[in-house]
Structure 1
């Protein structure tokens, strides 16, 4: 995937854009790992392209499996490939000399449009999920990636846009669709989802009834690695290391007391949060929840299972991207949708193997998250009860916590206020 900001070639050098631009202009890579073009003159245009190269360009365009457009520095389309024509219904003469705004329609989210416009104005790339319209008026979901191309002086000479049609499962957005689940939602509807009328227009976006059966989730095989006693500022804990043999992730279990062969063990399944636990970020309550759990198990004996699932499973880099999207008015859930991620990508399929290895028969789960409870139960874990986690809030985390409560059903949020 292309970066949402900046121009690093390393993350997209194998993409459509690279093969295309290398064919047309043969750019070089500077010491900052940025794609640049040698100027043939002092004019503002790129080097003259020979007729032979133009023919080769058409071949490269048509060889791509996704829609591709090339625009000048003013975002006016100069090339498009046959897949773009097939995807949108617009022919070449319809789009050359035009702006990609022709793909927008009545239900295209304007905040997403403003996000794209602001990124391009700053000279930055972006990647969004946006509702566009074909020439015949039929809407489709477009995973749009735009990347500026610079000359050696850092000036933008071209933009490459890649359109990938996506059919989004409506169930991903079910918790925030009032007309489906019958709940009242404050404020605007999901910013990257079309209005109800648009959903009805598209044959790809059909509202489906959720299956009542338990989801089938495959368990992950885990291996015990080692145990040690670790002195910390909170006390001396047992730390056991495990490896998820499917994902290759390393999982840490922070333990207080003799817990093997127990029932009703107090357990917290905690997901890594570098920004709060290392940097002290005030945007979320993750560190406070970890602190709560580590103090709690000292009173009762128990375990914190620490999983490397940063950013609800997106990863740290995508989490930072989501933060950048939030600066344009999106909440945490919508920001993940803009980047093409579901509400939550985390999995807990390694936990049953860890509990089994220590012969733990049942647990009392420390969580406010109903999804986590459902997921663990679907994995066959016996949960005797839930232990609420109540932590302080601050002015920076209020919006995040409100979104968790209203959009994802989290319980006990901010009850200490």
Structure 2
């Protein structure tokens, strides 16, 4: 894996959900996929318990993050991540991987197939994409450029931890996110649990 370097650091006052704070936004040169991913520094990572910052890899979701779509749990997960990382100290990596890596238009095409009965994974496959096309090489590069070797990973998705570990990072702990279940996203979350092995307890 090639090395990435920090390109710029910008202070940004933000408000997301119930959290209002001043974050540092970091950009990078040399990322493997050439995309404009961001690291958002929250709280005081250098003072995180045990020196282990809390890290969230959050894949961009315009419909959930910006429009507040109830079809997924992305918006609530983003708000939760900012709140929890701010409290502990760490990094939110905002990754430009819309629709599990297939892009915004293709994701909306997949929504139409979901309305016809396919689940979120089969819809991607029916369009000729991987069920989950995300690659976290760039995320590992970003963390290394930030000086992070050991981390606590805020996720229910075992693939994120496995990919970071495969790139030589020490995932000391996998911290589960809350289950943001609604009537509108139950089918989506069920597919994530059953097909993507996400650690989700959805109940009856």
TM-score under structure 2 length normalisation: 0.90
Who is 1:252 aligned against? 38
State the Cα distance separating 1:308 from its structure 2 match. 0.2
- Aligned-residue Cα RMSD (Å) equals 1.9
Match for residue 240 of structure 1 among 23, 26, 32: 26
Give the Cα–Cα distance (whole angstroms) in 1 for the partners of residues 44 and 196 of structure 2: 35
Contact 2:33–2:138, Cα closer than 8 Å, also in 1? no
CA distance in 1, matches of 2:140, 2:46: 14
TM-score, normalization by structure 1: 0.45
Between the aligned partners of 1:243 and 1:293, the Cα distance in structure 2 is 25
SS of structure 1 residue aligned to 2:37: strand
Greater percentage in helix: 2
The alpha-carbon deviation at position 401 of structure 1 amounts to 0.3
Answering whether residue 47 of structure 2 is matched by residue 277 of structure 1, we say no
Q: Would the aligned equivalents of 1:244 and 1:250 in 2 still touch at CA under 8 Å? A: no
Match in the other structure for 1:223: 5
Instruction: Report the equivalent of 1:373.
Output: 161
Structure 1 residue 335, shift from structure 2 partner? 0.6
- What is the 5 A alignment of 1:70-89? none
Whole-Å Cα distance in 2 between the matches of residues 346 and 339 of structure 1? 16
> Partners in 2 of 1:313 and 1:382 — Cα distance?
24
Unaligned runs of at least 5 residues, structure 1: 1-218
What number of residue pairs does the alignment pair up? 198
Secondary structure class of the residue paired with 2:132: coil
1: CA distance, partners of 2:201 / 2:81? 16
Counterpart position of 1:322: 110
SS of aligned partner of 1:350? helix
How far the C-alpha of 1:406 sits from its partner, in A, is 1.0
1:325–1:378: structure 2 CA closer, same or farther, 3 Å change rule? Answer: same
Q: For 1:244 and 1:311, how far apart are their aligned partners in 2?
A: 23
Partner of 1:282, secondary structure, is coil
CA-CA distance at 1:252 after TM superposition: 0.9
Residue 260 of structure 1 contacts residue 358 of structure 1 at CA under 8 Å; is this kept in 2? Answer: no
8 Å Cα contact 2:155/2:175 also seen in 1: yes
CA distance in 2, matches of 1:355, 1:222: 9
On the 8 A contact 1:392/1:414 being kept in 2, the answer is no
In structure 1, what is the equivalent of residue 145 of structure 2? Answer: 357
Match of 2:191 in 1: 403
Structure 1 ranges of 4+ moved more than 6 A: none
